[in-house]
Amino acid sequence: MALILNLETATTVCSVSLGKDGKLLALKEQNGDYSHAENLTLFIEDVLKQANVKFSELDAIAVSKGPGSYTGLRIGVSTAKGLCYSLNIPLIAIDTLKSLAVGIKNSDLKIRNSDLLCPMLDARRMEVYCALFDNSLNYVRETSAEIIDESSFQSLFCPDGKTKEGNSVFFFGDGAAKCKTAMSQNENAIFIENIFPSAKNMIALSENAFTNNQFEDVAYFEPFYLKDFVAGKKKAISP
């Protein structure tokens, strides 16, 4: 049983939640423009104020570890590590894609035990970061960077577009939209919109990690970037 602050900054969503014993106490989030550097500490203060909780009362800090935006992950992890170091409390790392899968399981969608979950985060061009989970959030396919085309995930589907077992495969997250056209011929491929990473979906995962003493080394922990950072070309300045 623990009081855990959860930070989600892996995408355009800046989200902070406070969970106690696996239950949501407070939430503050905004989706938009990678304004994490400006908003994250303010959101943390607001969430603690909502719940009337002091920093000194926290038992641990959980952070979304990636994959995702290089800058967003760096901001979230550095903030979490700074808090853990100053408060002398444990650091917990949460898989961003697994947290996203928790979000769809907590939605109103009817998901059968045999269905598969494929959270996707937008990368560059036609590439996504993705993983495949069963309905119990066990990995069916490990996290990878996939270039999407008509042959993507075909091992899951028969020629008629149905899965071999008749179950559905749910594709969701901000990377799923670019896959819909390429994979729409698969009858059992279901694309869900408006499922985004949220710190509220980290709460059960971080509570479980705390209970099982699954902590990170605050000094040496690094985000799971999956790919090396590639800086964009500078735009030419008109004379």
pLDDT given at position 162: 72
Query: By C-alpha distance, which of 99, 87, 85 is closest to 8?
Result: 99
pTM over 0.85: yes
Q: Is residue 102 part of a domain?
A: no
Strand partners, 3: 20
- Asked if residue 71 is part of any domain, the answer here is yes
Q: Is residue 233 assigned to a domain?
A: no
Range of the domain at 153: 108-192
The per-residue DSSP string of 88-108 comes to T--EEEEEHHHHHHHHHHTSS
Which helix (H) or strand (E) covers residue 19, if one does?
strand 13-20
Do residues 38 and 89 both lie within one domain?
yes
Instruction: Please indicate, yes or no, whether residues 91 and 7 belong to a single structural domain of this protein.
Output: yes
CB atoms within 10 A of CB 32: 9
Please report, for the domain that includes residue 11, its CATH number.
3.30.420.40
* Shared domain check, 178 and 115: yes
Name the more confident of 165 and 218. Answer: 218
Two tokens, residue 183: 């994979």
| Number of domains into which the chain is organized | 2
Residue 239 lies in a domain: no
pLDDT per residue as tens digits for the range 89-106: 999 999 999 999 999 999
User: Whole-angstrom Cα distance, residue 5 to residue 54?
Assistant: 11
Residue 227 pLDDT > 80: no
Structure tokens at 12: 């355009």
Residues 154 and 207 in one domain: no
pLDDT in tens, 185-219: 788 889 998 899 999 999 999 999 999 999 999 99
Q: Within this chain, do residues 10 and 91 fall inside the same structural domain, yes or no?
A: yes
Question: Is residue 7 domain-shared with residue 20, that is, in the same domain?
Answer: yes
Contact 59, 214 (CB under 8 A): no
User: Is 175 domain-assigned?
Assistant: yes
Q: What percent of the chain has pLDDT over 70?
A: 92
- pLDDT, residue 208, reads 97
pLDDT, residue 152, reads 83
Q: What pLDDT score was predicted for residue 29? A: 96
Tokens of 99: 């947290």
Given a contact cutoff of 8 angstroms between Cβ atoms, the answer to whether 129 and 116 are in contact is no
Assigned domain for 220 exists: no
The sign one gets for the Cα dihedral 174, 177, 183, 189 is positive
Same structural domain, 36 and 50: yes
Check residue 185 and give its pLDDT: 79
Nearest to 121 by CA among 203, 40, 234, 10: 10
Amino acid at 219: A
pLDDT category at 132 given cuts 50, 70, 90 is very high
| Shared domain check, 115 and 131 | yes
**Domain with 157 in it: what CATH number?**
3.30.420
Sorted by sequence, the CB contacts under 8 Å of residue 212 that are 6+ apart come out as none
| Same domain membership, residue 128 and residue 81 | no
Cα 24 vs. chain centroid, distance in angstroms? 17
**Confidence label for 164 from pLDDT (cuts 50, 70 and 90):** low
Do residues 203 and 88 share a domain?
A: yes
Establish if 100 belongs to a structural domain.
no
Q: Kindly report, residue by residue over 48-101, the tens digit of the pLDDT.
A: 999 999 999 999 999 999 999 999 999 999 999 999 999 999 999 999 999 999
**First CA to last CA distance, the chain:** 61
Do 90 and 204 sit in the same domain of this protein?
yes
Q: Is residue 45 part of a domain?
A: yes
Say what the pLDDT of residue 228 is.
Answer: 57
Whether residues 17 and 53 share a domain: the answer is yes
